[in-house]
A = this chain, B = another copy of it.
């Protein structure tokens, strides 16, 4: 981004010297994303000035890329006419995103300056449940009829194409608007004028219901290599499309959510540097508190075996190693399964396959670690055979339990409708800690009496 920072002083100079023509040329060469980042560094008044110099479509695209706060500030400075011009250039799905983030008075002003049909469409999309296909779709697509010829189709595309988010894929519907096929612009342009849509359209069209979860929607883009996905209602009537840029955002957002949950953080939308200290604290605190209190059990187990520890203080020294190795073994399994579940490489039905595979891996890993540990205890720590035996066999059992717990808990969580990502390292560690300590002391009891 160094290139952009170099420009900044030039632009400030041009603003000061009122060289608007040069300014317009300079900033019009940017793409919306870089321009939005560039504008972030200017004062509000300069932003408005620069914004007014942009060609309308670039201005609208840049507006979409800005953060909510700056969008709000800009809307406040816009005249009604300017607001209408921006709204005019926006795609419906981007408008819905903006409306969702704005305070009520701004929303009111946006809707007041929209056409009635836009207003209705926005309200319609806002009515779909959060995170559903309906909530991320746009209603601007090209619909064709099967009896049209290529010439008819091209004429229709030319007529409504400018307002449609994509025309690369057009959808074919019957007389009651039911989705019956699709045809790509590529096919249209590579075909003879007199061909009919019916002859050329693909009928095995993949679609989703308006209420489908957005994570599933995003997965379908990856699975079927789509760039656009039609959204239909319960009667298979075409209501909109989801384009891949929105699916991409969903994929990134859902992945971030998974990673946050796996690290015991309540997911939230804003980028890290834009979150307040209090927001970060709020998203992390409950989990730390719950996990801290859960660790009380581990403390209670140790307290119960105080006598053993007082007699063999050396045993205390190996508690951290046992706990960490247990935690790590469990995290490996849970992270693998959680990721497998979200990529649909693993499903609940595979639970016995997973258990079988993990138990083999667990025994192999546990044995390797136990043997290395035993040799280290005997040769370097020189703790004596009994202690080495106690620590190493606890280690073996800990690894096996950790991998069993780590691999099954996420699957069970998903089965009963929880997000499997919660069953990651922190929870697994807390559970495995307690179990492995119990084994530690039981084995000590058996070996040392």
Contact = CB atoms under 8 A, between A and B. Distances in A.
A244 interface: yes
A403 to B, nearest CB: 9
A327 interface: yes
A263 interface: yes
Contacts of A225: 33, 245, 248
Of residues A339, A399, A426, which shows the largest number of chain B Cβ atoms within 10 Å of its Cβ? A339
A39 to B, nearest CB: 16
A11 interface: no
A236 interface: no
Contacts of A404: none
B292 A361 contact: no
A277 B357 contact: yes
Given A248-B221, A271-B340, A189 B190 contact: no
Interface stretch (A79-87, A208-216, A368-376): A368-376
Contact of A368 (B206, B245, B285, B293): B285
B316 A302 contact: yes
A331 B369 contact: no
Interface stretch (A105-113, A305-313, A441-449): A305-313
Interface string A252-280: 10011011101111000001110001101
Contacts of A328: 264, 287-288, 291, 426
Interface string A152-166: 001001100110001
A104 interface: no
Given A316-B316, A373-B292, A327 B327 contact: yes
Interface string A202-246: 011010000000000000011111010000000000000000110
A292 B321 contact: yes
Contact of A353 (B273, B289, B296): B273
A329 interface: yes
Contact of A372 (B204, B271, B292): B292
A161 B295 CA distance: 64
Contacts of A114: none
Given A186-B185, A425-B263, A425-B331, A360 B277 contact: yes
Q: How many copies does the complex hold?
A: 2
Given A256-B339, A365-B284, A292 B324 contact: yes
A185 B204 contact: no
Interface stretch (A118-126, A128-136, A343-351): A343-351
Contacts of A189: 154, 157-158, 161, 167, 185, 189
Given A185-B186, A264-B331, A265-B336, A289 B324 contact: no
A177 interface: no
Interface stretch (A12-20, A42-50, A429-437): A429-437
Contacts of A29: 203-204
Contacts of A256: 339, 343
Interface string A379-413: 00000000000000000000100000000000000
B30 A204 contact: yes
A191 B258 CA distance: 45
B248 A222 contact: yes
A421 to B, nearest CB: 10
A318 B292 contact: no
15 contacts: A29-B204, A33-B225, A258-B259, A272-B337, A272-B346, A273-B340, A273-B345, A288-B325, A288-B365, A289-B372, A300-B317, A302-B319, A309-B309, A320-B323, A425-B425
Given A280-B336, A327-B429, 5 more contacts: A259-B339, A272-B357, A273-B353, A278-B364, A295-B320
Interface of A: 29-33, 154, 157-158, 161-162, 166-168, 185-186, 189-190, 203-204, 206, 221-225, 227, 244-245, 248-249, 251-252, 255-256, 258-260, 262-265, 271-273, 277-278, 280-281, 284-285, 287-289, 291-293, 295-296, 298-300, 302-303, 306, 309-310, 313-314, 316-321, 323-325, 327-329, 331-332, 334-340, 343, 345-346, 350, 353-354, 357, 360-361, 364-365, 368-369, 372-373, 376, 399, 425-426, 429-430, 433, 437
Leading 6 A-B pairs by shortest Cβ distance: A263-B335, A295-B321, A298-B320, A271-B345, A225-B245, A299-B317
